[in-house]
Structure 1
Amino acid sequence: MSEARVRALRGATTLDRDDREHLIARTQELMAAVFARNELVEDDLISIVFTATDDVHAAFPAVAAREAGITHVPLLCARELEVEGGIPRCVRILVHAYTPRTARELRHVYLHDARQLRTDLPE
């Protein structure tokens, strides 16, 4: 394996409803998939940026990370641009981490209705 480098991973999911428990569950599902598919652990993480569309109000997506035990990583929440025809109730993440994987070996994760954002990526 090569030496670990700083890489960025993307992912997104959607919510069926704007509900705190549902948002936390879906966000944790997304984070777990990104971490598992890329063999990451908390110590590999540098930061995570969360964004949500304007129709998400139930909770900050970063709460899902804190409730999953990610306590020593800087987290930031922001709003997505409101674009005509955009996907409703969408939560996105941008994970900065150390990994020995090359950029081509990274596995970005798009779940639920967010799959349509990146149909070019393998599951």
Structure 2
Amino acid sequence: MVRGIRGAITIENNTDAEISIATKELVQELILKNDINPKNVAQVLFTVTQDITAAFPAKVLREFADWSYVPVVCAVEIPVPNSLPFCIRVLMTVNTDVEQDEITHVYLREATKLRPDLTLTNE
């Protein structure tokens, strides 16, 4: 089956370093919590709020072993008034036998406010 795995994280400053660190943290947590093998990933879609312009979150996947053939794209979120600022979101499309209600979606830092019903707590 093909499943979507969601996640989000926030940053405090619009810098290349901070975007990279946060994106790496988010992707590592998604991989760990869902036992993701890049051979089973169909695509990864990153979106960012309009206040994030210093770097593409997608470039971080090049740092992960075996992820070079996974299609990745970045896009800008719709600028909805009062939305959470400095937010990086991700949607991974993955081939898996895991049931939809067993997927662990990962929301970190201030992004936990986006989906408190799906929030992974940092332990």
TM-score (norm 2): 0.93
Measure, in 2, the Cα distance between the counterparts of 1:71 and 1:53. Answer: 25
Runs of 4+ in 1 over 4 A off after TM superposition: none
Q: Which of these residues, 18, 24, 42, is aligned with residue 22 of structure 1?
A: 18
Shift in CA distance, 83/122, structure 1 to aligned 2, threshold 3 Å: closer
Measure, in 2, the Cα distance between the counterparts of 1:68 and 1:21. Answer: 16
Deviations 1:11-57 (A, max 9, x none): 00001111101101100110111111111111111100000000001
Contact 1:12–1:90 (CA<8 Å) still a contact in 2? yes
1:1-123 matches, cutoff 5 A: 5-69=1-65, 70-123=67-120
Measure, in 2, the Cα distance between the counterparts of 1:71 and 1:122. Answer: 29
TM-score (norm 1): 0.93
Structure 2: unaligned runs, 5 residues or longer: none
Secondary structure of residue in 2 paired with 1:11: strand
Measure, in 2, the Cα distance between the counterparts of 1:60 and 1:41. Answer: 22
Equivalent AA in structure 1 for residue 19 of structure 2: L
Contact 1:47–1:73 (CA<8 Å) still a contact in 2? yes
The Cα of 1:66 is off from its aligned counterpart by 1.5
Measure, in 1, the Cα distance between the counterparts of 2:24 and 2:105. Answer: 15
Structure 1: unaligned runs, 5 residues or longer: none
The number of equivalent residue pairs is 119
Contact 2:2–2:95 (CA<8 Å) still a contact in 1? yes
Measure, in 1, the Cα distance between the counterparts of 2:76 and 2:58. Answer: 13
The Cα of 1:68 is off from its aligned counterpart by 2.7
The Cα of 1:120 is off from its aligned counterpart by 0.8
The Cα of 1:67 is off from its aligned counterpart by 2.5
Deviations 1:87-111 (A, max 9, x none): 1110000100111100000000000
Secondary structure of residue in 2 paired with 1:118: coil
Q: RMSD across aligned C-alpha pairs, in angstroms? A: 1.0
